[in-house]
């Protein structure tokens, strides 16, 4: 039975194997170590993520390597996205620490273990070269997030958010699986590179393929949180504990970008005209509804949820303009601009939710806009950090958010006159979006505070928030560092 079994090359998957082993070890250690602050669990979690980054560096060859019967791929795009993923989760765990300790229902070792398993799911998604691998990674991420959203069992809002997320997530997974089964029926393979080869060879039933593609794009759109598959985002962002909202609003965006690239660009590039037409509609609707609905919100977490919808719509513009009329000359520029946009958004989102966590304390969630009134009088430095984050989100020069938007817009304009209207629509909705970001700045600087006590926070939190805010400013002055990394990684991976 095992005569023909070939031992796979485990080196490309070394970070995943290390993370899975450590997550199980941490689960056991947490049971044995009696520590009310979960310091050992926290430190081991952070060391695991740093260890994954070190292994990723050590095992990266710069070449495209397939293993596990071509189900898993290691290339520069996956290496770069995973390194940003580890960095993001380390930052998220640092931000969450004080918040979790203050809340007894969440101060459990399972919180850190679930975060590690969610990270493992994202790593598998980023390196997937097979429909089954994508689905396994996606479900590992989703199931971990459902449990994290529901961790605060005393909160009706959290339980309701978890239920909505679970039901709609199951529906989206069904759509994705149905789309995958249709494409398998048309091509006879589940392997992404194999599908691309069959499509190039021709002789495939186009109508079945496009039918499957519609379901596939619908499933992806849900995971990205774009209109009309966005209904879960505002409720989950608002209902989940803020530390979990921070996790959902940052790291999974990197994995979602990766599976869009793997499925649509690596696998179904010959159907580009069909999926681009769908993505244009999703993108315009997301920018419109996301920005307009955000204006009406009084809850900052809900406002940022609608903002996330509009940002993901903006990111899709780069994917849309990669191949124009069968011409792929501008593909690298367009896809790298989208990758840069996702990385920039994750950095800005982490900083903004980090500020909400820093201002929250036991029994108080700083999630209403009115909680930020007069923040400048309470702490000029952190008001300045929040100002930089809001300006960057709005796309004000010269912050990283401006260059992220600018790089996507120039990719759209470069695609030709047929896409000029898309660039104009994107700019108009960005201007509308600036209103609700600048409203936060107005509250901080021009309104009287309800409470004038100075803002206090642990030293590590202060340093990290400051570094995050300054990174948004400095990378706005020197954006070419990350831009070049994205372009080089995609050049060696596509």
pLDDT in tens, 223-279: 888 988 888 999 999 999 999 999 999 999 999 999 999 999 988 888 888 899 899
Report if residue 3 sits inside a domain.
Answer: no
**pLDDT at residue 203 is higher than 80:** no
Distances (CA, A) of 79 to 68, 73, 471: 18, 10, 21
Confidence at residue 362, expressed as pLDDT on a 0 to 100 scale: 64
Q: State both tokens at 301.
A: 């977490």
Confidence at residue 10, expressed as pLDDT on a 0 to 100 scale: 87
**pLDDT at residue 329 is higher than 80:** no
Confidence at residue 366, expressed as pLDDT on a 0 to 100 scale: 82
Number of independent structural domains in the chain: 1
Identify which has the larger pLDDT, 301 or 325.
301
Mean pLDDT confidence for 175-194: 92
Confidence at residue 139, expressed as pLDDT on a 0 to 100 scale: 94
Confidence at residue 363, expressed as pLDDT on a 0 to 100 scale: 65
Report if residue 5 sits inside a domain.
Answer: no
**Residue 188 and residue 198 in contact, taking contact as beta carbons nearer than 8 Å:** yes
Confidence at residue 368, expressed as pLDDT on a 0 to 100 scale: 86
Mean pLDDT confidence for 30-34: 87
DSSP state of 321: T
pLDDT band at 317 (very low <50, low <70, confident <90, very high): very high
Confidence at residue 313, expressed as pLDDT on a 0 to 100 scale: 93
pLDDT in tens, 9-20: 889 999 999 999
Mean pLDDT confidence for 373-382: 89
Report if residue 173 sits inside a domain.
Answer: yes
Q: State both tokens at 426.
A: 């994107």
Percentage, residues of the chain above pLDDT 90: 66
Residue 96 lies in domain:
11-491
How many whole angstroms from its chain centre is CA 299? 21
Percentage, residues of the chain above pLDDT 70: 98
pLDDT band at 287 (very low <50, low <70, confident <90, very high): very high
Task: Tell me what the pLDDT averaged over the chain comes to.
Answer: 90
Report if residue 132 sits inside a domain.
Answer: yes
**pLDDT at residue 465 is higher than 90:** yes
Report if residue 485 sits inside a domain.
Answer: yes
pLDDT in tens, 109-119: 899 999 999 99
Confidence at residue 176, expressed as pLDDT on a 0 to 100 scale: 93
Report if residue 1 sits inside a domain.
Answer: no
Cα(first)–Cα(last) distance of the chain, in Å? Answer: 37
**pLDDT at residue 431 is higher than 70:** yes
pLDDT in tens, 362-375: 667 888 888 888 88
What are all long-range contacts of 45-50, with beta carbons under 8 Å and residues at least 24 apart? 45/93, 45/112, 45/115, 45/116, 46/90, 46/93, 46/94, 48/18, 48/19, 48/22, 48/23, 48/116, 49/19, 49/86, 49/89, 49/90, 49/93, 49/116, 49/119, 50/86, 50/90
How many whole angstroms from its chain centre is CA 485? 18
In this structure, of 71-85, 297-311, 348-362, the range with the lowest mean pLDDT score is: 348-362
In this structure, of 244-258, 333-347, 450-464, the range with the lowest mean pLDDT score is: 450-464
Report if residue 415 sits inside a domain.
Answer: yes
């Amino acid at each position: 039975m095992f005569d023909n079994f070939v031992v796979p090359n485990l080196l490309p998957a070394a970070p995943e194997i290390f993370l899975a082993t450590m997550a199980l070890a941490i689960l056991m250690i947490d049971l044995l170590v009696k520590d009310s602050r979960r310091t050992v669990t926290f430190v081991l979690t952070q060391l695991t993520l740093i260890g994954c980054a070190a292994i990723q560096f050590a095992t990266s060859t710069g070449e495209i390597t397939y293993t596990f019967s071509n189900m898993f791929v290691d290339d520069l795009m996956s290496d770069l996205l995973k390194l940003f993923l580890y960095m993001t989760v380390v930052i998220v765990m640092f931000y969450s620490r004080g918040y979790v300790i203050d809340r007894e229902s969440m101060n459990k070792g399972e919180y850190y273990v679930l975060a590690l398993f969610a990270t493992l799911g994202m790593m598998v998604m980023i390196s997937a070269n097979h429909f089954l691998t994508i689905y396994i990674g996606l479900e590992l991420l989703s199931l971990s997030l459902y449990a994290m959203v529901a961790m605060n069992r005393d909160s009706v809002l959290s339980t309701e958010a978890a239920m909505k997320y679970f039901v709609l997530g199951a529906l989206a997974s069904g759509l994705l699986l149905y789309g995958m089964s249709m494409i398998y029926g048309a091509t006879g393979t589940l392997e992404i590179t194999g599908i691309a080869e069959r499509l190039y060879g021709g002789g495939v039933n186009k109508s079945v393929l496009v039918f499957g593609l519609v379901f596939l794009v619908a499933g992806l759109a849900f995971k990205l949180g774009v209109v009309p598959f966005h209904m879960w985002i505002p409720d989950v962002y608002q209902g989940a504990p803020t530390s979990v909202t921070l996790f959902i609003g940052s790291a999974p965006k990197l994995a979602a970008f990766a599976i869009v690239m793997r499925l649509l660009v690596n696998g179904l590039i010959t159907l580009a005209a069909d999926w681009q037409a769908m993505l244009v509609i999703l993108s315009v609707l997301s920018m419109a509804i996301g920005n307009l609905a955000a204006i009406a919100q009084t809850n900052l977490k809900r406002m940022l949820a609608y903002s996330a919808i509009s940002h993901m719509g903006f990111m899709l513009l780069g994917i849309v303009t990669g191949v124009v009329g069968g011409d792929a000359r501008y593909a690298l520029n367009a896809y790298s601009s989208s990758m840069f946009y996702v990385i920039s958004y994750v950095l800005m989102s982490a900083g903004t939710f980090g500020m909400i966590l820093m201002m929250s304390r036991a029994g108080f969630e700083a999630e209403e806009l009115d909680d930020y009134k007069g923040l400048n009088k309470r702490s000029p430095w952190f008001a300045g950090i929040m100002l930089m984050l809001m300006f960057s989100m709005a796309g004000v020069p010269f912050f990283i958010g401006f260059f992220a938007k600018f790089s996507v817009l120039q990719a759209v304009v470069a695609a030709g006159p047929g896409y000029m209207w898309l660039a104009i629509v994107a700019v108009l909705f960005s201007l509308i979006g600036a209103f609700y970001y600048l409203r936060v700045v107005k509250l901080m600087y021009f309104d009287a505070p309800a409470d004038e006590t100075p803002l206090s926070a642990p030293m590590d939190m202060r340093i990290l928030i400051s570094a995050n805010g300054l990174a948004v400013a400095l990378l706005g002055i020197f954006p070419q560092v990350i831009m070049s990394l994205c372009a080089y990684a995609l050049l060696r991976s596509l």
